[in-house]
């Protein structure tokens, strides 16, 4: 074929299409119904029924609405379940404040962004790193380690202590304004550096900027409470009241989950990330300090084994995946056999999981929680998933994942260190290999899932 598409080649393509009656029939189906309804595999639908050999009741699902807070919703769901179980709460709809965590995440991300700008003052404005930073001043996404850092520093509160605001549930315009303001701030800091201002002067300007950011966040979300009164009834209808708790005290007193004890296990089967090594992502995080992104990369069989063990001990498992692939929102099914695109369209998808990561065909986009697994002869067949999209999709908001989908599109789980062998714990203590800011393993923190 020549470099330029010409009319002869277009005629050749047209003839190839029109000579196949089956292609025109398929066109009619897809034009009328769309590709997913046309390619839906009902055998997959029939196999993905909501019965599990091992599961537990975690209460109702939550709703992140028009935001990318899946990671914090999923993490808060694991804590609220533990608190409800510990206190034997009567209220099955008990929730922890997502807006509270969101406020501090936005505030800390603003500082993290500004510090990253300061760290790159000697780099050209058009360098890939600075361009990447300016593309993502702040966002709703996040990672397990980022959640841990927030809660360890700021604690948690019940939802009634800081309920949802308009913009905690609809974050697009808030993010637009924050990003606009932070890019303006980045220019101020770089301008000061060009004028040979010292670091003390630059950081003083950063302090002024963060003061304004705090005020903006209060306007959008309300100011976080410094003290709360915790009131609840247990299942015996006994009323309890604890007064004047600060958010860190509330977390430490009532949460059986000690977040510091959990490790992020990933499955990244690419050549640049050997298994049994640890990794971090440069310029990815929120809270400046010792706790940063820290992954342990293991084979997929290990992620499953550790998840099953944690579930068998009655504890949910936070996980990160590429939710949009082979997923039906209405049915609540995630199965890589759900849509038979290849047979319908007579094409081949030959990329492996590693290939999809390398060629940007798949990244982490969404975090949810495993609350059950279906085992046959000890081997997983399907997984029960607590989502944060409200009760409308799936079965009252719960989804079902095939085990083969887990293989292909699940990338991360948060596992208590007590389930890891001494060998793996020792490996986890290794200094992490630093990945580029744009590595696929950092994508969940940029996601709007």
Q: What SS3 string covers 170-237?
A: ECHHHHHHHHHHHHHHHHHHHHHHHCCCCHHHHHHHHHHHHHHHHHHHHHHHCCCCCCEEEEEEECCC
Mean pLDDT, rounded, of the chain: 96
pLDDT in tens, 360-398: 999 999 999 999 999 999 999 999 999 999 999 999 999
pLDDT of residue 51: 92
Choose, from 139, 328, 336, 387, the residue flagged as catalytic.
387
Q: What percentage of the chain carries pLDDT values higher than 70?
A: 99
Asked whether the predicted pLDDT for residue 219 surpasses 90, the reply is yes
312 is catalytic: no
pLDDT of residue 2: 83
Mean pLDDT of 286-307: 95
Cβ 314 vs Cβ 372: under 8 Å: no
Asked whether the predicted pLDDT for residue 448 surpasses 70, the reply is no
Cβ 382 vs Cβ 395: under 8 Å: no
Supply the angle between the helices 144-154 and 247-254 in degrees, to the nearest 10: 110
Asked whether the predicted pLDDT for residue 449 surpasses 60, the reply is no
Asked whether the predicted pLDDT for residue 160 surpasses 60, the reply is yes
387 is catalytic: yes
pLDDT of residue 92: 85
Question: Class for domain 54-446, per CATH?
Answer: alpha beta
b/e 88-120 (16+ beta carbons within 10 angstroms → b): ebeeeebbbbbbbbbbbbbbbbbbbbbbbbbeb
Choose, from 139, 366, 374, 410, the residue flagged as catalytic.
366
321 is catalytic: no
- The answer for 289, left when phi > 0, alpha when psi is -120 to 50, beta otherwise, is left
Q: Is 411 helix (H, G, I), strand (E, B) or coil?
A: strand
Asked whether the predicted pLDDT for residue 292 surpasses 90, the reply is no
Under the banding of pLDDT at 50, 70 and 90, the label for residue 295 is very high
Integer CA distances (angstroms), 193 to 112, 118, 182, 189, in order: 18, 9, 16, 6
pLDDT in tens, 394-444: 999 999 999 999 999 999 999 999 999 999 999 999 999 999 999 999 988
Joined tokens for residue 199: 């670091």
Asked whether the predicted pLDDT for residue 138 surpasses 80, the reply is yes
Mean pLDDT of 329-352: 96
Q: Is 417 helix (H, G, I), strand (E, B) or coil?
A: helix
Asked whether the predicted pLDDT for residue 355 surpasses 80, the reply is yes
pLDDT of residue 447: 65
What CA–CA distance (Å, rounded) separates 56 from 290? 35
pLDDT of residue 236: 95
pLDDT in tens, 55-93: 999 999 999 999 999 999 999 999 999 999 999 999 988
pLDDT of residue 35: 96
pLDDT in tens, 86-125: 999 999 889 999 999 999 999 999 999 999 999 999 999 9
- The answer for 285, left when phi > 0, alpha when psi is -120 to 50, beta otherwise, is left
pLDDT in tens, 302-326: 999 999 999 999 999 999 999 999 9
Q: What percentage of the chain carries pLDDT values higher than 90?
A: 96
Choose, from 70, 77, 175, 267, the residue flagged as catalytic.
70
What CA–CA distance (Å, rounded) separates 30 from 294? 44
What CA–CA distance (Å, rounded) separates 407 from 303? 10
- What sign does the CA torsion over 277, 283, 287, 288 have? positive
Q: Calculate the CA dihedral of residues 216, 221, 224, 225 and round it to 10 degrees.
A: 130
What CA–CA distance (Å, rounded) separates 258 from 111? 26
pLDDT of residue 26: 95
Alpha helices for 222-280 (secondary structure H) = 247-254
């Amino acid at each position: 074929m020549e470099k330029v598409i010409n009319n002869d080649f277009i005629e050749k393509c047209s003839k190839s299409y029109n000579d196949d009656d089956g292609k025109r029939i398929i066109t009619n189906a897809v034009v009328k119904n769309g590709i997913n309804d046309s390619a839906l595999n009902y055998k997959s639908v029939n196999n993905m029924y909501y019965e599990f050999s091992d599961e537990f009741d975690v209460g109702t699902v939550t709703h992140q609405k028009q935001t990318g807070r899946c990671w914090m919703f999923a993490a808060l769901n694991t804590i609220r379940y533990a608190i409800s179980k510990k206190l034997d709460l009567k209220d099955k709809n008990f929730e922890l404040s997502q807006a509270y965590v969101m406020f501090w995440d936005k505030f800390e991300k603003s500082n993290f962004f500004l510090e990253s700008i300061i760290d790159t003052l000697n780099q050209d404005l058009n360098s890939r790193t600075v361009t990447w930073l300016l593309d993502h001043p702040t966002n709703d996404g996040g990672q397990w380690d980022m959640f841990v850092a927030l809660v360890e520093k700021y604690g948690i509160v019940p939802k009634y202590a800081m309920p949802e605001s308009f913009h905690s549930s609809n974050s697009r315009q808030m993010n637009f304004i924050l990003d606009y303001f932070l890019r303006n701030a980045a220019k101020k800091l770089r301008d000061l550096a060009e004028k040979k201002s010292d670091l003390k002067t630059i950081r003083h300007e950063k302090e002024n900027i963060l003061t304004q950011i705090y005020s903006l966040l209060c306007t959008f979300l309300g100011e976080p409470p410094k003290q709360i009164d915790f009131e609840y009834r247990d299942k015996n209808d006994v009323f309890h009241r604890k007064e004047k708790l600060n958010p860190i005290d509330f977390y430490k007193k009532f949460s059986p989950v000690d977040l510091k004890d959990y490790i992020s296990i990933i499955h990244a089967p690419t050549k640049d990330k050997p298994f049994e090594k640890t990794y971090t992502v440069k310029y990815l995080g929120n809270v400046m300090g010792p706790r940063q992104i820290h992954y342990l990369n293991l084979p997929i069989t290990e992620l499953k084994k550790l998840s099953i063990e944690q579930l068998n001990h009655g504890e949910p498992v936070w996980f990160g995946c590429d939710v949009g692939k082979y997923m039906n929102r209405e049915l609540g099914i995630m199965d890589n056999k759900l849509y038979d695109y290849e047979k319908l369209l007579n094409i081949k998808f030959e990329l492996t999981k590693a290939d999809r990561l390398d060629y940007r065909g798949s990244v982490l986009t969404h975090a949810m929680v495993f609350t059950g697994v279906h085992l046959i002869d000890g081997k997983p067949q399907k997984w029960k998933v607590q989502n944060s999209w409200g009760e409308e999709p799936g079965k009252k908001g719960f989804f079902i994942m095939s085990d083969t989908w887990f293989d292909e599109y699940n990338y991360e789980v948060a596992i208590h260190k007590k389930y890891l062998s001494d060998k793996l714990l020792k490996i986890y203590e290794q200094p992490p290999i630093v990945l580029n800011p744009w590595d696929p393993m950092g994508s969940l923190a940029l996601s709007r899932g």
